[in-house]
Amino acid sequence: MLNYSEIDSILRALVEPTRRQILERLSRGPATVSQLAEPFGMTFAAVLQHLQVLEACGLIRSEKIGRVRTCRIEPGGLAPLADWITERRIPAERHLDRLGEILAETDQPSPKVQDQEKDEQT
C-alpha cells in the first residue's frame, strides 16, 4: 500500500462505464456539470458523484467560477496506470513460457490436458 493506492483509485474510477464516457466527453473539451449530466439519462447528483471520483484520483480537474463548475481532463492523469502496465508487460513477456516448459517436462509422464471454460463471452 504505497503508491499502490494510486493505481487502485484510478482503476476504481475507470471501471465505471459512465465515468469512462465522461472522460471521453471531457477529452473533447471542458464542460460544466450540467452539460455533462445532460447526455446521460441520470440525475445531476449522480454525475456529480462520478466527477468527484474522477477528480479525487487526478483524472480530471475542475474549477468553480460563480455558480458554474467547469471540468476538464487532467493531462497526466492516466500516466500512473500507463506506467503500471508497462512495468508489468515487460517482465511478463519473458520467463513464463520458459518456466512453463520446464514445469511441463519435469512433471508428468503422459499429460492429459483438458482446457475447458473461457468461452462464455459472445
Partner DNA sequence: ACAATACTCAAGTCCATGCTTAACTATTCC
Partner DNA sequence: GGAATAGTTAAGCATGGACTTGAGTATTGT
Q: Pairing state of beta strands 31-32 and 68-73?
A: antiparallel
**Binding site partner of 54, from DNA, its own copies, none, Cβ cut-off 5-8 A by kind:** none
Size of the site for DNA (CB under 7 A): 31
C-alpha 54: how far from chain center: 11
Strands 31-32 and 60-65: unpaired
For residue 56, which of 122, 119, 6 has the smallest C-alpha distance?
6
Catalog residues that contact its own copies under the rule CB under 8 A: 4-5, 7-9, 11-12, 14-15, 17, 20, 23-24, 26-27, 29-30, 52, 55-56, 62-66, 68, 70, 72-73, 75, 77-79, 81-82, 85-86, 88-89, 91-93, 95-96, 99-100, 103-104, 107-108, 111-115, 117-118, 120-121
